Amino acid sequence: MTVTDELLSYDDAVAAYDPVMGLEVHVELNTASKMFCGCSTEFGADPNTQVCPVCLGLPGSLPVINRTAVESAIRIGLALSCEIAPWCRFARKNYFYPDMPKNFQTSQYDEPIAFDGWTELDVDGELFRIGIERAHMEEDTGKSLHVGGSTGRIHGAQYSLVDYNRAGIPLIEIVTKPIEGAVAKAPAVARAYVAHLRELLLALGVSDVRMEQGSLRCDVNLSLRPHGQDAYGLRTETKNVNSLRSVERAVRYEICRQAAALAAGDRVVQETRHWHEDTGVTTSGRSKEQAEDYRYFPEPDLVPLAPSREWIGELRATLPEPPREHRARLQAEWGFSDLEMRDVVGAGALLSIEQTVAAGSTPQAARKWWLSELARRANEQGVELTALPITPGQVAEVQGLVDAGRVNDKLAREVLDGVLAGEGTPEEVVTARGLEVVSDDAALGTAVDRAIEANPDVAEKVRGGKTAAAGALIGAVMKEMRGQADASRVRELILERLS
Amino acid sequence: MPDEPASITRDEVAYLARLARIDLTDEELDHLAPQLAVILESVAAVKEVAAQDIEPTSHAVPLTNVFRDDEVRPCLTAEEALAGAPDADQSRFRVPRILDEEA
């Protein structure tokens, strides 16, 4: 990273040039075992403890296809309105790089399982239709640790250490057709597409889609052309853009960088670029001029796949409601405004709220807890909302406590804190922290009497008919009872005494 | 997957050797390229009898849809996995630095 690239301002860049994008998303499936062998796919195991002769490519071993992985691939294809190939094969992608011990990756080449589809998404109220070129099956690679360089980067490393636990985990690569016409919205469209895919994959239940664990990874292809020109410009491929925010930033950065080169009369170099999350820039990687040559050929150790119409029909019957219809239905059921709904979707809270409502909460209450209290806490901790250690069922339980008058909003927030701190269920937190509101008339009555005694002038106003003045007395009672009094009962008791 | 050419040039052999990380001397290239060309030409004789209606075949056995259930089976231990490795460190395979040619 010695060269700092010139950048054109974003507004100038999109005023002069029309960006064309292609997004490649790799999704790790959540099967229990690997694509071609029975090794576990569990995340976080000790290095090289989830490997066997097949995924290590030892001589004499033979792969066998995981049926569930193929079903997931077909379901993903169907959910993206793709054609499903009636017959297709795996292929060997040959390359020498130690992340695959076999010296090839088992993938699909010119016969993808799913192809020629589309999906639609909303970006700030505007509908975009994204064409899907293909979705094909392959296997993930091992993880390398580069030792000896200054920052663990590959450049300058003296040697590398490889863990093959991830090698062989089923991957689906989903490739879009060129995305044109987004112009200034291109970064937002890219982000919305990845968010949309994430939601769709979650609804299908085929992947954990945890971007921070690498189970969904994105490569961004981008080129610019002058407005009005049909032919595409030369493109770059930015690898490993692994968060929604980074997808948006990387597209924006490449637009500004390529625009600066073109505006200066230079060519865009067709190359692979690396995204740097920390600095928000891309840097040059391998130049495509030394074109890769993978010498693909049909995998001789695996027989072809020929999904029958019946099988595809059965899998189609298992598809969830498409995301847009799902959102439209929920919005109607919940009575949320467009703006409220956009906030919910933008915060990634849709499924959480849906499950909270299913657990008995009202939609408005569920929205309040997830979008205000929990979103703020997730923000403070820098984690995704769904990564907070609280379940939708527990949020519904907290609201249930409020509805039953056992805690007020202030106490409910303390209950949430307790659950998030790992102190147990909401009920357990209430008991352990002694958070329940007091609605027992004897206890409240004593506090009410003291409040009236201490504020004779206020009491006189209430007696005189100014019931709004009772608020000051309620406040005094709440203060004495450390916020744990049942406010509506306190009000009733005050008015009874002063009528 | 394009058709393989019926013959092969010395340059192509040198290129393939580089792709396959096989270090060939000039003498070895002089010696091997004509031999590989002869082999390819011999195999290409099959094309003379394979009519247009014969599909290219990748498998000798006409099977499709051979699957296993998604069940976890016991794996090797890290010690077993690394037993045949030329070098290992921290339960990982130790390999020479990767970007030798490009860095």
B66–A303: do the CB atoms touch at under 8 Å?
yes
Is B6 part of any domain?
yes
Note the pLDDT of residue A153.
Answer: 63
CB-defined contacts A:B, below 8 A: 142
Q: Which of A278, A301, A309 is nearest to A60 (CA)?
A: A301
Q: Which of B98, B100, B102 to mutate against chain A (most A CBs within 10 Å)? A: B98
From B27's Cα to the closest Cα of chain A, the distance in A is: 25
Six-digit token pair at A282?
A: 């891309």
Q: Domain total for chain B?
A: 1
For Cα atoms A313, A137, A309, give the angle at the middle one, nearest 5 degrees: 15
Q: Which of A270, A258, A202 is nearest to A226 (CA)?
A: A258
A306–B78: do the CB atoms touch at under 8 Å?
no
Stated pTM of the model: 0.80
Closest to A52 (Cβ–Cβ): which among B64, B76, B82? B76
From residue A199, alpha-carbon distances to A194, A204, A310, A409 in Å are 9, 9, 27, 31
| Three-class secondary structure of residue A75 per DSSP | helix
Is B79 part of any domain?
no
Note the pLDDT of residue B6.
Answer: 61
Is B59 part of any domain?
no
Segments forming the whole domain that contains residue B39 = 1-54
Q: A441-498 — its CATH code? A: 1.10.10
Which chain A residues touch B59 with a CB distance below 8 Å? 298, 300, 303-304
Judge contact between A76 and A135, C-beta under 8 A. yes
Burial class (CB in 10 A: 0-12, 13-18, 19+), A60: exposed
Higher pLDDT, B81 or A469: B81
Identify the closest residue of chain B to A40 by CA–CA distance. Answer: B72
B102–A286: do the CB atoms touch at under 8 Å?
yes
Judge contact between A497 and A452, C-beta under 8 A. yes
- Alpha carbons B58 and A475: distance in angstroms, whole number: 82
- What are the boundaries of each domain within chain A? 10-313, 321-424, 441-498
Q: What is the pLDDT along chain A (499 residues), one digit of tens a residue?
A: 445 688 999 999 999 999 999 999 999 999 999 999 999 999 999 999 999 999 999 999 999 999 999 999 999 999 999 999 999 999 999 988 889 999 999 999 999 999 999 999 888 878 899 999 999 999 999 999 888 766 556 666 788 999 999 999 999 999 999 999 999 999 999 999 998 999 899 889 999 888 878 899 999 999 999 999 999 999 999 998 988 889 999 999 999 999 999 999 999 999 899 999 889 999 988 654 456 789 999 999 999 999 999 999 999 999 998 878 888 999 999 999 998 998 898 788 888 999 999 999 999 999 999 999 999 988 888 777 878 899 999 999 999 999 988 888 888 999 999 999 999 999 999 888 888 877 778 788 888 888 888 888 888 888 888 888 888 888 888 888 877 888 888 888 888 888 7
Higher pLDDT, B3 or A41: A41
Contact status of B18 with chain A (Cβ, < 8 Å) = no
From residue B71, alpha-carbon distances to A28, A30, A358 in Å are 17, 12, 32
Which one-letter DSSP state was computed for residue A307? -
Closest to A161 (Cβ–Cβ): which among B20, B84, B92? B92
Q: What is the pLDDT of residues B8-60, one digit of tens each?
A: 899 999 999 988 889 999 999 999 999 999 999 998 888 788 777 877 777 87
Residue B46's CATH number: 1.10.20.60
Is B16 part of any domain?
yes
From B29's Cα to the closest Cα of chain A, the distance in A is: 21
Six-digit token pair at A321?
A: 């409601």
Closest to B70 (Cβ–Cβ): which among A66, A162, A297? A66
Note the pLDDT of residue B1.
Answer: 42
Indicate the pLDDT class of residue B101, thresholds 50, 70 and 90. very low
